[in-house]
Amino acid sequence: EQQLAIDAATALKAIARRPDIKMQVEHQPQLYALLQRAAARYVTGEQRANALEVAELLHGEGYAVSLEYIGENTVSRADCQQAAAELMGVLTDLGEQGIGGRVSFDLSHIGLLVDNELALQHVLQLGELSQMYGIELFISMEESAKTAAILAIYRQAVALYPLIGITLQAHLHRTWEDASRLLAQDIRVRFVKGAYEEPDTLALSRSAELDDRYVQLFELAVERGCRISLATYDELLIDRLLLYSWEGAASVELELLYGIRPELAVQLREQSYPVRVYLTYGQEWYLYLCHRIAEYPPNLYQALIDVVGG
């Protein structure tokens, strides 16, 4: 059954990336409108202004925010440049809005698949702006085939611009060594279990062993005085992490995606834990919706309810 779910998720992600299918969807206005309605739960809108507006509201309610301009695996130089320019725009607007926050992105959105140097140049430009506005810049972690390149770019960039953070996947076997090498005082790190299907030789699947590893990484980061974002909806794991006194860490927060388990965000906030909500926007909402369903198939029922009820 687990294998079936994995196969279905892989197939859905593959469908989401097929430009011909996407084009067909775009040419059927009714279907397009229905899918857009389902996506509205997870995506603030197509425009940067949509995300900034929700960011302002959430800030008023006591949440920190992350903003992502949706996109990944961009293969043309021009599209990478467009994405980097959009990220610079959102970073600037967020800085000028004066509510703090962070901008998150995939390196494969801004050049990693074209050439590492292009991705690095874009990160350095973004890093300079992030320093100017005091806005954090967070690099997401992608498939294991990209991990070494992503960490190499991160290392070069953070040496110049300390507000750049990195996401580490607890499920990868290599992560303990990576973390041991990277984590230091005030380093910004986001821990996730890992969203990509990887072979057993490279990663653990969802298990108690993986949860233990997540906790060990957290302990290491606290020991080293890092600024930590715990990005998980796993309530048992969160309960374990909340049992810790966070003394030693420069800061610790929970970070949750907009539209997923919003009641958990409210509950944690009410218990006075710092919570960050990760907001997305952009024209690629279709890809994002497919990913949310692929990673948690019951979200398909939610999507149907949203379509019918909306």
In the complex, the residues that contact ligand FAD under the rule CB under 6 A are 140-141, 167, 169, 192-196, 206, 231-234, 255-257, 260-261, 278, 292, 295-296, 299
Strands (DSSP E) contained in 131-209 are 136-139, 164-169, 188-192
Q: Are 184 and 155 a contacting pair, CB within 8 Å?
A: no
CB of 23 to ligand FAD, least distance (A): 27
Q: Which two tokens stand for residue 173?
A: 């076997």
CB nearer to ligand FAD: give 132 or 266: 266
Q: Is the dihedral of CA 144, 145, 150, 153 positive or negative?
A: positive
Helix H or strand E encompassing 237: helix 235-242
Angstrom distance (rounded) from CA 182 to CA 224: 10
CB nearer to ligand FAD: give 224 or 291: 291
CB of 29 to ligand FAD, least distance (A): 28
CB nearer to ligand FAD: give 29 or 233: 233
Angstrom distance (rounded) from CA 187 to CA 226: 5
Q: Are 63 and 99 a contacting pair, CB within 8 Å?
A: no
Q: Are 190 and 168 a contacting pair, CB within 8 Å?
A: yes
Angstrom distance (rounded) from CA 150 to CA 107: 7
CB nearer to ligand FAD: give 32 or 233: 233
Angstrom distance (rounded) from CA 111 to CA 25: 27
Q: Are 277 and 63 a contacting pair, CB within 8 Å?
A: yes
CB nearer to ligand FAD: give 80 or 290: 290
User: What 3-state DSSP class applies to 203?
Assistant: strand
CB of 30 to ligand FAD, least distance (A): 26
CB of 169 to ligand FAD, least distance (A): 5
Task: Return phi, psi of residue 188, to 5°.
Answer: -95, 120
CB of 257 to ligand FAD, least distance (A): 5
CB of 226 to ligand FAD, least distance (A): 16
CB of 85 to ligand FAD, least distance (A): 22
CB nearer to ligand FAD: give 108 or 140: 140
Buried b (16+ CB within 10 A) or exposed e, 63-85: bbbbbbbbbbebeeeeebbebbe
Angstrom distance (rounded) from CA 11 to CA 5: 10
CB nearer to ligand FAD: give 26 or 215: 215
CB nearer to ligand FAD: give 187 or 260: 260
CB of 192 to ligand FAD, least distance (A): 3
